[in-house]
Amino acid sequence: MTIVTPPPTAESPWPVGLFAGKIRDWIDRLGTAWVEGEITQWNVAGGNVYGKLKDLEIDATVSFSVWSSVRGRIPADLKQGDRVIAAMKPNFWVKGGSLTMQVFDMRHVGLGDLLERLERLRQTLTAEGLFAPERKRPLPFLPQRIGLITGKDSDAEKDVLRNAQLRWPSVQFCVVHAAVQGERMVAEVTAALLELDADPEVDVIIVARGGGDFQNLLGFSDEGLIRAAAAATTPIVSAIGHENDRPLLDDVADLRASTPTDAAKRVVPDVGEELLRVQQARARMSQRLTNLIGVEIDRLGQFRSRPVLANPQTLIDVRADELVRWVARSEELLQRAIERGTTRLAELTGRLRALSPESTLRRGYSIAQLPSGAILRDGAEAPAGTDLVLTLATGALGATSTGPLTGGSASSTDGSASLTDGSASLTDGSETSDPAPTSTPAR
């Protein structure tokens, strides 16, 4: 039969022992769990071990105890600073009101285990593209200000500053000191990275450490730090100085340097080398210009040696003779064209005159017209008394018809015409005007 304890109230509170017992009962139900962390305290007393285990990333610690009966089953070389995994069960001591972890097993985190975890993380980040070559940003040729993350007063700091200033004396640094190993390493390096990346005056960031064993460098493979480096907008140089089993920061960085000294040499150009390059470039440019000028001088000499330039008047004389010939030829062709045109015009004029009525009139003929202007072609069209107009080669005469002549021929045997009204007389193609300007029509 289960006894149900009523919930506590102000009128009916629980005793401390009851409350502590309920806490113990609830914690006991959690069972045993495997936990990974770093031993930060290891004290042996009476055959038992009392210590503390710290989280590898965040600020969290639990106390643990290893009874003498268990100690013989765990590695004897365990000590403070070791990274371990432990099978532990939480225990709440009612009498003292304290919570501790009872260890049933504890092991070193083996190098193989660490490498396996590191490789899985590497594959995950590679699949996300964080290590892709196209993400690598080029370093500035001459950074105005360099951010440096390293341990305070460390050899790495001295190496970077000394070598950079030897290569380019005016280079400037913004140094942020951070723990480069231990429990504070990840948090401090990440914070320093974010601080320098937010500084617009910093052109490149160097993360430097003077080497170390594999476990001391594990923090530089922390996923949070790697993602912070990948998200940075400022180029990053990793100078951890560990050739074998290099940390993931080397893969995500825009440039990996083998040592802090190598980082300084690859970030800052050598002023002496640059001056030498400038001098060499100037020498090459001067030589090329000298060669070019020499070639142009030779070409100018060749042009000047040509006869046309040695004696320019020769070219003028030749062109003048050609011009005279062309002018004469043009005049000749023009004269021929004029003569042909004149001849053609005369021919056309003769043909026109031959076809013109005026030529007929000049031969002694006249044109008889009725008053209406109609040309008289038949004598029957002008009966006696009909007024006529006679058009001559020069001038015109008025006349009155006496009617058609008998036989249809003129009275003059030589083909001359006689008008009976006395206004005009035509004989042998000549004309004689009657003194009287007005003819008298026949009645």
Instruction: Quote the pLDDT of residue 296.
Output: 94
| Cβ partners under 8 Å of residue 67, min gap 6 | 48, 102
**Contact between residue 252 and residue 229 where contact means Cβ atoms under 8 Å apart:** yes
For the domain 135-269, what is the CATH code?
3.40.50.261
- CA angle at 211 for the pair 208 and 215, rounded to the nearest 5°: 110
Residue type, 435: P
Instruction: Quote the pLDDT of residue 178.
Output: 95
Quick one: which H or E segment has residue 229? Answer: helix 223-231
**What is the three-class DSSP state of 275?**
helix
| Cβ partners under 8 Å of residue 30, min gap 6 | 89, 90
Residue type, 37: G
Instruction: Quote the pLDDT of residue 335.
Output: 95
Instruction: Quote the pLDDT of residue 370.
Output: 92
Q: What's the rounded Cα separation, in Å, for the pair 221 and 121?
A: 9
**Contact between residue 164 and residue 192 where contact means Cβ atoms under 8 Å apart:** no
Q: Are strands 255-256 and 367-369 parallel, antiparallel or unpaired?
A: unpaired
Structure tokens at 159: 């190496």
Instruction: Quote the pLDDT of residue 174.
Output: 96
**Residue showing tokens 């993380």:** 121
β-bridge mates for residue 398, sequence order: 389
Instruction: Quote the pLDDT of residue 96.
Output: 84
**Contact between residue 427 and residue 416 where contact means Cβ atoms under 8 Å apart:** yes
Q: Which of 152, 137, 164, 138 is nearest to 192 (CA)?
A: 152
Q: Are strands 204-208 and 145-150 parallel, antiparallel or unpaired?
A: parallel
Sign for the CA dihedral angle at 75, 78, 83, 86 comes to positive
Q: What's the rounded Cα separation, in Å, for the pair 283 and 291?
A: 12
**Contact between residue 57 and residue 189 where contact means Cβ atoms under 8 Å apart:** no
CB environment 76-103: b (16+ within 10 A), e (fewer): eebeeebbbbbbbebebeeeeeeebbeb
Q: Where are the domains of the chain?
A: 16-109, 135-269, 362-403+412-433
Q: What's the rounded Cα separation, in Å, for the pair 161 and 349?
A: 113
Structure tokens at 65: 């105890």
| The domain made up of 16-109 is a member of CATH 2.40.50.140 | yes
Task: List per-block mean pLDDT (blocks of 10 residues) for the chain, which spans 443 residues.
Answer: 69 88 88 90 92 87 92 88 89 87 87 76 93 94 94 93 93 94 88 96 94 78 94 95 76 93 93 90 95 93 79 82 93 95 92 80 86 89 90 90 71 38 37 37 33
**Contact between residue 92 and residue 99 where contact means Cβ atoms under 8 Å apart:** yes
β-bridge mates for residue 351, sequence order: none
